[in-house]
Amino acid sequence: MPKKILIAEDSPTMRSLIVSTIAAMGEFETVEAANGFEALRILPREKVDLIITDINMPDINGLELVSFIRNNESYRTTPLFIISTEGSERDREKGLALGANAYLVKPFAPQQLQELVRKYLA
Amino acid sequence: MSDKRSSEALKEFISETEEIVESINLDLVTLAEGLDSGEYDPDLINGIFRGAHSVKGLAGMFGFDDLSQLAHRMENLLDQLRLGKVPFNQLTVDTLFNALETLSRLINGKSEDEHFTFDLTSCFERIEQAALGKAATGDDPLAGLAIDQAILNVLTEYEEHRLLENVKKKRNLHLVRVDFDLSSFDQELAELTQQLKQQGEVISTLPCVGDIGERIAFQVLFGSERDQADIRALLGRDSLDIRTFGETAAPAATAAPAAGMIFEEPPPLPAVGGETLPATADAGSLRSISRTVRVDIDKLDLLMNIVGELVLSKGAITGICERLRGSGEKELAGDLTKATRILERRLHDLQKGVMDVRMVPVGQLFEKMTRIVRRVSNEQGKKVELDIRGADTELDKLIIEDVSDPLMHIIRNAIDHGLETPAERREAGKPEKGMICLWAAQKGNHVVIEVRDDGRGIDPERVRRKAVARGLIGEGQELTRGEIYELLFLPGFSTRDEVSDLSGRGVGMDVVKNNISQLSGMVELTSETGIGTCMTITLPITLAIIKALIVKVAGQTYAIPINSVQETLMIDSSTVRTIERREVLELRESTLPLLRLDRTFSLVHGERPAEQKLFVAVVGLADKRLGFVVDDLLGQQDVVIKSLGKVLSFVKGVAGAAELGNQKTILVLDVAGLMGEALRGESVNHV
């Protein structure tokens, strides 16, 4: 069974960009969440192997999602990347402190994302 | 450092720190006005904080330990005040005033004698005493709140900021815990949020940690002036888990804000004569003066040059990446490329930052013009209404300075030559008051400034006759209206038989045009007899760093500013046609005039086959287009334009020289100049 990646990102463009970047790798399945709430819904339902979340989302922020995930028995060790914008170093640091494995700064190169995915899911 | 230089530096130091002290003083006065109400603008404290910080940095550089120590202590106190760890009260503000006075005394003393100092112990003690008003421990500004660290950990910077804002407003902070069915939690949360928003600000919504079953719990962090009972009533639910921070015994739901969790009420001040001073809300007007820093434009130029050179160095590194990759060091090349990319982003930010500092609204320029309009119209006995639009359009400060004279001249011309006298206007059926429009707008990388009048317009026949009389054109020469107006920009042309007091003064339109060309700009004139004249100035937003298209012609490389390049084409030399002895190219149903740069610059080609692929860089300014024919396109690059200097200023068609990353120097084409001449059809020979 292919490994599954959850993408929580409120910008449709960014989300589809991430999805297609991962699709191009040809080995993973993706689940999309258009906001934090959707992600919260998906998590208990599906077993995901990697989570990628944006930090700035309208309902709950990505940091809250990271904290939630890291404190959740089923997802304590699931690899997790955060996506932030330039200039939000503090948010990034907080995300890493909360247990995110890596971060990406928008705009990032598709290869960068692919390398990270490969590193954590290989 | 020689004595002279060091004394100059000291002078600068003194004047800068004095300025800062003055600015802090203004801010402190404004801050103190808020003492009665207990409210203040957080930006004020930030401003004072920054001021103290600057003094600390400057004093440190000059080795003035005493000054630097004092500023450092002020900075600390301000930081604690800013983060709400020290109460905003009379004691704190007095301490700050006292520290500032001491600071000022020190600076004054040092202006007489570098070694001047005095005992600062008591002042230091006083500041430390005030800083003891600590309500919380630890460095985190939010640590003083009773809110769980776990919650603070997941707030984004912005949410933290909002939280602090609420704290500053002495609002109560409620943590409302709710749980919902997993299937409908988002709608229910949205409803709850809506209800809460009527009474305050929802700072953050946090999912409660734990495995999700059928239900999911959230905590909503909410800032409000209302107390817990009010919130319960508002939400109409009994079984609500609400934790409230910062609530006091004060009766709830009163209009007065409840005391914040870390704010102490200052001891009541002895009221003078029983009077209470009204809280001043509009005291902020002083700040606009004190918040700006005056900087010599030369300093900005220097910065810009350094940034430009950094950009070039980055180009050189990119070149090394390529070479590394070529030599098989793929991994190293990859790493270097990555590092370069980060460098590039930061450089871009830096460049943008410096550029932003240089940008000033054209409103500054227009302001000067209003004075001129007023004066000239009075002198001329004409009634003029000035219509200004787009005053907030931004332009490089240097360009603003340099365009101010030409613009002034154009406006004088418009009033002097363009507008009729009130009597004439009445006769012509126009309103007595003439209209001058001064409009600015940004169009891509250019700013267009339009000066339009509704005057008598320029009679082309009169211009033609004058040009014939001056020997500028032949008697029977056929010219279009546009070409006739172009004549106005030729040296020594004056449409008036008698030299006017105003527009005369030996400055013709040719000077105006030259000045604007020097800024890589362009000026155009359109006019309709009886209706009015419009002068359009097109200027680049900035001059310093530009992206350029690098082209090759007969073995020489040139740079064409990319902001004027519309497209590039590869054509077959056989598609070039000749119409009226000019080479043109049919391009999408329009005719594009061509200019062969090799001929323009009298370059000699080597052997060339008759049938040949040519490259055309289509450049456009305003609504004009021209194709530069070149041998090859080498790519885009950031270049820093340097002036050729006075000695070479006679060289036509060249705007300046630029350095490429590999230490080569190339010439940057003066697109506006080349276009102007090529489209006029002058046979130009350049050096």
| Averaged pLDDT for residues B445-463 | 88
Output the pLDDT for position B264.
38
By C-alpha distance, the chain A residue nearest B181 is A41
Q: Which residues from chain A sit within 8 angstroms of residue B189, using beta carbons?
A: 37, 59
Q: Please state the ipTM of this predicted complex.
A: 0.80
**pLDDT score for B36:** 78
Residue of B25, B89, B413, B515 with catalytic role: B413
Question: What single letter denotes the amino acid at residue B174?
Answer: H
Q: Chain B residues with CB inside 8 Å of A41's CB? A: 182
- Looking at the complex, report in whole angstroms how far the Cα of residue B168 sits from the nearest Cα belonging to chain A: 22
Query: Structure tokens of B140?
Result: 């985190």
End-to-end CA distance of chain A: 14
Domain boundaries, chain B: 3-135, 149-245, 297-358, 362-540, 545-680
User: Which pLDDT score, from 0 to 100, does residue B681 have?
Assistant: 57
The Cα–Cα gap between B146 and B169 comes to 17
CA B574 to the chain's CA centroid: 48
B644: left (phi over 0), alpha (psi -120 to 50) or beta: alpha
Q: Is residue B118 classed as helix, strand or coil in its secondary structure?
A: coil
Identify the residue with better confidence: B610 or B110.
B110
Nearest chain A Cα distance for residue B207, angstroms: 7
DSSP run (H or E) holding B201: strand B200-207
Mean pLDDT value across chain A? 87
Contact A61 B159 (CB under 8 A): yes
The band of B661, judged by pLDDT with boundaries at 50, 70 and 90, is low
Cα B655 from Cα B635, distance rounded (Å): 19
More confidently predicted of B453 and B614: B453
Interhelix angle B397-413/B363-380, rounded to 10 degrees, is: 20
For residue A72, the chain B residues in CB contact (below 8 A) are 209-212
CATH of B3-135 given 1.10.3720.10, 3.30.310.10, 3.90.1150.10, 1.20.120.160:
1.20.120.160
Place of tokens 């024919």: B629
The pLDDT score that the predictor gives to residue B518 is 78
Give the pLDDT score at B610. 58
In A9-60, where do the E strands start and end?
Answer: 28-33, 50-54
Which of A37, A56, A74 shows the shortest C-beta gap to B211?
A: A74
Residues A28-71: tens digit of each pLDDT: 999 999 888 889 888 888 889 999 999 888 788 889 999 989 88
**Interface residues on B facing A, Cβ-Cβ cutoff 8 A:** 150, 153-157, 159, 182, 185-186, 189, 204-207, 209-213, 216, 345, 349
Q: Is the peptide bond before A12 cis (omega within 30 degrees of 0)?
A: no
pLDDT category of residue B265 using cuts at 50, 70 and 90: very low
**Residue B259 confidence class, pLDDT cut points 50, 70, 90:** very low
What type of residue is A103? Y
Q: What is the dihedral of CA B352, B356, B362, B365, to 10 degrees?
A: -120
Asked if residue B316 has pLDDT above 90, the reply is: no
pLDDT at position B502 over 60: no
Q: Which of B248-252, B274-278, B574-578, B642-646 has the highest mean pLDDT?
A: B574-578
Lowest average pLDDT, out of A87-101, B493-507, B673-687, goes to B493-507
Distance CA B473, CA B279 (A): 74
Phi, psi of B55 (to 5 degrees): -60, -40
**Which tokens sit at A18?**
């991430």
Secondary structure E strands in chain A: 3-8, 28-33, 50-54, 80-85, 102-106
Q: Which of B140, B157, B219 best probes binding to A when mutated, by most A CB atoms within 10 angstroms?
A: B157
> What pLDDT does residue B210 have?
67
Determine how β-strand B434-443 pairs with β-strand B384-389.
parallel
Instruction: Give the whole-number percent of chain A exceeding pLDDT 70.
Output: 98
Q: Other CB atoms closer than 10 Å to residue A99's CB: what's the count?
A: 16
Among B41-45, B283-287, B502-506, where is mean pLDDT lowest?
A: B283-287
Q: A20-29, B539-548, B577-586, B617-626: which has the minimum mean pLDDT?
A: B539-548
CB contact under 8 A, A94 and B205: no
CATH fold of A3-121: Rossmann fold (3.40.50)
What confidence score (pLDDT) does residue B181 get?
83
Kindly state the percentage of chain B with pLDDT values over 70.
81
First and final CA of chain B: distance in angstroms? 45
Separation between Cα atoms, residue B502 and residue B408, nearest integer Å: 11
Q: Which residues contact A57 (CB under 8 A, 6 or more apart)?
A: A8, A9, A10, A35, A36, A65
Cα B293 to Cα B170, B289, B540, distances in angstroms: 33, 9, 25
B437-446: b or e for each residue (b if 16 or more CB lie within 10 Å)?
A: bbbbeeeeeb
Q: Is B482 helix (H, G, I), strand (E, B) or coil?
A: helix
State yes or no: is B75 an active-site residue: yes
Residue tagged 């985190």 (tokens) = B140
Q: Choosing among A63, A88, A104, which should be mutated to test the B contact, i.e. which has the most B CBs within 10 A?
A: A63
Higher pLDDT, B312 or B151: B151
Contact A63 B156 (CB under 8 A): yes
Of B156, B204, B345, the CB nearest to A91: B156
C-alpha A87/C-alpha B74 separation (Å) is 28
Computed over every residue of chain B, the mean pLDDT equals 77
**CB–CB of B335/B343 below 8 Å?**
no
**Which among A94-98, B195-199, B322-326, B493-497 has the top mean pLDDT?**
A94-98
Strands B624-630 and B590-596: parallel
Any idea which of B301-310, B455-464, B626-635 has the lowest mean pLDDT? B301-310
Tens of pLDDT along B607-631? 665 567 888 999 887 778 899 998 8
Instruction: Give the list of residues 6+ apart from residue B477 with CB closer than 8 angstroms, or none.
Output: B468
Q: What are the CA-CA distances from residue A68 to residues A120, B218, B465, B625 (Å)?
A: 20, 11, 84, 60
State which H helix or E strand residue B341 sits in.
Answer: helix B330-358
> Taking CB atoms and an 8 Å limit, are B156 and A59 in contact across chains?
no
The pLDDT of residue B288 is 36
Q: Quote the pLDDT of residue B125.
A: 85
Residue B408 in tokens: 């002034």
Domain boundaries B545-680, corresponding CATH code: 2.40.50.180
Contact flag A40-B216 (C-beta cutoff 8 Å): yes
Q: What is the pLDDT of residue B503?
A: 44
| pLDDT at position B437 over 90 | yes
> Which carries the bigger pLDDT value, residue B387 or residue B237?
B387
Q: What is the pTM of this model?
A: 0.41
CA distances from B457 to B325, B487, B666, B687 (A): 64, 15, 43, 38
- Asked if residues B423 and B383 have their Cβ atoms less than 8 Å apart, the reply is no
A71–B210 CB contact, under 8 Å? yes
Strand order in the sheet with B215-224: B200-207, B215-224, B172-181, B241-245
Q: Do A67 and B210 touch (CB under 8 A)?
A: no
**Which chain B residues have a beta carbon less than 8 Å from that of A66?**
154
Mean pLDDT of B430-441: 91
Burial of B651 (0-12, 13-18, 19+ CB in 10 A): middle
The helix/strand/coil state of B405 is helix
State yes or no: pLDDT of B103 exceeds 60.
Answer: yes
Chain A residues with CB under 8 Å of B163 CB are none
Q: Does residue B684 have a pLDDT over 50?
A: no
| pLDDT number for residue B177 | 87
- Whether residues A98 and B154 touch (CB distance < 8 A) is answered with yes
Q: Is B558 exposed, middle or buried (0-12, 13-18, 19+ CB in 10 A)?
A: buried
**Inter-chain CB proximity A61 and B210 less than 8 Å:** no
Q: Which residue has the higher pLDDT, B106 or B300?
A: B106
Q: What is the mean pLDDT of residues B352-372?
A: 82
Q: DSSP states of B210-263 as a string?
A: S--SSEEEEEEEEEESS-HHHHHHHHT-SS-EEEEES--SSPTT-SSPPPPSSP
Judged against a pLDDT cut of 60, whether residue B356 lies above it is answered with yes
**Total beta-carbon pairs less than 8 A apart between chain A and chain B:** 67
pLDDT at B327 exceeding the cut of 50: yes
- pLDDT of B332 over the 80 cut: yes
Using the beta-carbon criterion (under 8 Å), do A56 and B156 form an inter-chain contact?
Answer: yes
Q: With contact defined as beta carbons under 8 Å apart, do A22 and A28 qualify?
A: yes
Read off the pLDDT of residues B156-211 as tens digits, 9 standing for 90 and up. 777 887 888 888 788 888 888 888 887 788 888 888 888 888 888 888 888 887 66
> Domain spanning B149-245: which CATH class is it, in words?
alpha beta
pLDDT mean over B376-395: 86
| Residue B339 distance to chain A (closest CA, Å) | 13
Chain B closest CA to A17's CA: distance in Å? 20
B498 — pLDDT class (breaks 50, 70, 90):
very low
Residue from A37, A47, A75, A114 whose CB has the most chain B CBs within 10 Å, to mutate: A37
Q: Are B617 and B551 in contact (CB under 8 A)?
A: yes
| Selected residue of B194, B212, B218 to mutate for chain A interface (largest A Cβ count, 10 A) | B212
Chain A CB contacts of B346 under 8 Å are none
Q: How many angstroms separate the CA atoms of B411 and B387, rounded?
A: 12
B153–A97 CB contact, under 8 Å = yes
Task: Encode pLDDT of B83-99 as tens digits.
Answer: 777 888 888 888 898 89
pLDDT tops 70 at residue B258 = no
Min Cα separation A71/chain B (Å): 6
CA torsion sign for A56, A60, A63, A65 is negative
- For residue B405, is pLDDT > 90? no
With a CB cutoff of 8 Å and minimum separation 6, the contacts of B119 are: none
β-bridge partners, B108: none
Label residue B687 by pLDDT band (50, 70, 90): very low
Residue B610: what residue type?
A
Chain segment A66-116, per-residue pLDDT in tens: 998 988 888 889 999 998 876 567 788 889 988 999 998 877 888 999 999
Measured on CA atoms in the order B96, B102, B106, B112, is the torsion positive or negative?
Answer: positive
**Average pLDDT over every residue of B422-443:** 89
Rounded Cα distance, B448 and B414, in Å: 18
The two structure tokens encoding residue B125: 């003690």
Instruction: Report the C-alpha dihedral over residues B187, B189, B190, B193, rounded to 10 degrees.
Output: 160
Give the contacts of A51 (CB within 8 A, at least 6 positions apart).
A5, A6, A8, A39, A65, A69, A75, A78, A79, A80, A81
- The residue with greater pLDDT, B282 or B140, is B140
B187 interaction partners in chain A (CB closer than 8 Å): none
Topology of the domain covering B362-540 = Heat Shock Protein 90 (3.30.565)
| Residue carrying structure tokens 């969440």 | A33
**DSSP code for B363:** H
Are residues A63 and B189, on separate chains, in Cβ contact within 8 Å?
A: no
Using CA atoms in the order B392, B397, B399, B401, what is the torsion angle rounded to 10 degrees? Answer: 100
Q: Which chain A residue's Cα is nearest to B214?
A: A44
Cα–Cα distance measured from residue B75 to residue B52, given in angstroms and rounded to the nearest whole number: 6
Q: pLDDT-based confidence at B254, cuts 50/70/90?
A: very low
